[in-house]
Amino acid sequence: MAMRRAIRTSERLGAWAVLWVFGGAVALAGQPAQWLERMNHALTTLDYEGTFAHWDGGRVQMLRIIHRLKNGVVSERLVSLDGSGREFIRTGSDLTCYLPDKREVLVEHIPSKRSLIGTVPILNKETTRFYALHEGAQERIDQHLTRLITVMPRDQYRYGYRLWIDRAGMPLKIQLWDARHGGRVIEQIVFATLRIDRNIPNSAFQPHLSTAGYRWLRTQSPPAQKNSGLVWHALWLPPGFHMATHVAQSMPGAIGPVEHLVYTDGLASVSVFVARPAHAHAHPPAVESAHMGASYVFSTFVDGHRVTAVGEAPARTVRSIAVSVRARRASYSALPGGPFAHAVPPP
């Protein structure tokens, strides 16, 4: 009964979302692109609550998510339903991680001041040069009508997605897949229940556990400082990638501001961080890497600076961008999409 009610609500909001989102939509990339635009908008602006299964590396966990956008402030709460009791609550730019198994609470700050809407990718003719968008048949997921949209990468530098999107624009099922391996699914999320609710109370974003006796840890960063006069850039980028953002921000563990370069092809993005370590190393700095579901991190050292690339792209893409990063004097003109992009083969 609750599910049927949720579906009806969802369908009503779906019609609303269509009108809202596509009043000014560009039909350039066709219907699949519009579905993705609709989904982006729904994910970031609708208020919803649901439970879902997250499959990653053969493990499955059940989670509950609550999302609300009220007066321009995003509130999110994610709760593990599998016994760990962990909760993650985001309010605006603060993310609080409750770890009952460690009796600790971590508070992290999200440095970007951009609105969530600002994160929505631009799907245009350029994007479709590197991804093929397909609109599949209608499919039912738990009696919920969805449309399958496939985002297929045209080369090996990026991942693909399969998205089952309902009429409200919510993705009820998401698969991240690697085209290089016959479409191997890397990660999957499937909603078991989903309810659009425009009246989610503040109490829904309170932790359901007592933190008495917990240790609280918070990272605090001073304001950004002026940079060193060096301009960092990637000598090699995959086709279609360009610099979208270049900011300097203060971060713990670095002398001076950390350069943050964001390269994107419209869907996938790779951040490059360049930092001068706060302490001289007694030992050689480590080159490190890690996989995190869809994301990959690679860190190396260039001219005494730690260069770290993070991105939801294949390891090869992230690694190649990171090892191509170099500095030049600020007087040399820079670069969004600049003169060095594609100038040399991947290192």
Partner 1 sequence: MNEELDSQLSAMFDDELPAAECELLARRLSRDEGLKARWGRYALIGAVIRAERGVVLQSSLAGRVNAALTHEPLLASGSGAARWSVSPWMRMVSGAGVAAGVAALSILWLRAHALAPSGAAVMSVASVAAPAAAAQGGAGGASDSYVVPPASAQPVTPMPPTQLADYVVAHSAYSWPISGGSLLSSLMVSEAGSLSAPAPSHRRAAGHGHATRHPH
Residue from 84, 124, 138, 206 binding partner 1 (CB under 8 A) = 84
Scanning residues 183 to 222, which ones bind partner 1 (CB under 8 A)? Answer: 187, 189, 211-212, 214-222
- 22 or 301: CB nearest partner 1: 301
Task: Tell me the closest approach of the beta carbon of residue 143 to partner 1, in angstroms.
Answer: 23
Which residue type occupies 127?
A: T
Residue from 26, 73, 82, 343 binding partner 1 (CB under 8 A) = 82
- Cβ-contact 155, 144 below 8 angstroms: no
Residue from 71, 282, 331, 333 binding partner 1 (CB under 8 A) = 282
Residue 294 within binding range of partner 1, rule CB under 8 A: yes
* Tokens found for residue 288: 């490190």
- Cβ-contact 11, 5 below 8 angstroms: no
- 30 or 92: CB nearest partner 1: 92
Q: How far apart are CA 82 and CA 99, in angstroms?
A: 14
Buried-state track 265-300, b at ≥16 Cβ within 10 A, e below 16: bbbbbbbbbbbbeeeeeeeeeeeeeeeeebebbbbb
Scanning residues 302 to 321, which ones bind partner 1 (CB under 8 A)? Answer: 302, 306, 308, 310-312, 315-316, 319-320
Buried-state track 50-71, b at ≥16 Cβ within 10 A, e below 16: bebebeeeeeeeebbbbbbbee
Q: How far apart are CA 154 and CA 276, in angstroms?
A: 37
Q: Which among 176, 165, 144, 205 has a CA at the least distance from the CA of 42?
A: 165
Scanning residues 226 to 255, which ones bind partner 1 (CB under 8 A)? Answer: 244-245, 249-255
Residue 156 within binding range of partner 1, rule CB under 8 A: yes
Scanning residues 16 to 55, which ones bind partner 1 (CB under 8 A)? Answer: 39-40, 43-44, 52, 54
Question: Across the strands, what pairs with 148?
Answer: 164
Task: Tell me the closest approach of the beta carbon of residue 331 to partner 1, in angstroms.
Answer: 25
Output phi, psi for 202, to 5 deg. Answer: -60, -35
Burial class (CB in 10 A: 0-12, 13-18, 19+), 182: exposed
Walk across the sheet containing 288-292 and list its strands: 242-249, 254-264, 269-277, 305-311, 295-302, 288-292
Residue from 271, 321, 325, 335 binding partner 1 (CB under 8 A) = 271
Residue from 292, 330, 337, 339 binding partner 1 (CB under 8 A) = 292
- 11 or 56: CB nearest partner 1: 56
Site size for partner 1, by CB under 8 A?
115
- 240 or 311: CB nearest partner 1: 311
- 1 or 279: CB nearest partner 1: 279
- 252 or 339: CB nearest partner 1: 252
- 18 or 251: CB nearest partner 1: 251
Scanning residues 113 to 142, which ones bind partner 1 (CB under 8 A)? Answer: 114, 116, 119-121
Residue from 29, 168, 275, 341 binding partner 1 (CB under 8 A) = 275
Residue from 33, 267, 325, 327 binding partner 1 (CB under 8 A) = 267
Question: Is residue 279 classed as helix, strand or coil in its secondary structure?
Answer: coil
- 5 or 225: CB nearest partner 1: 225
Task: Tell me the closest approach of the beta carbon of residue 27 to partner 1, in angstroms.
Answer: 21
- Cβ-contact 322, 274 below 8 angstroms: no
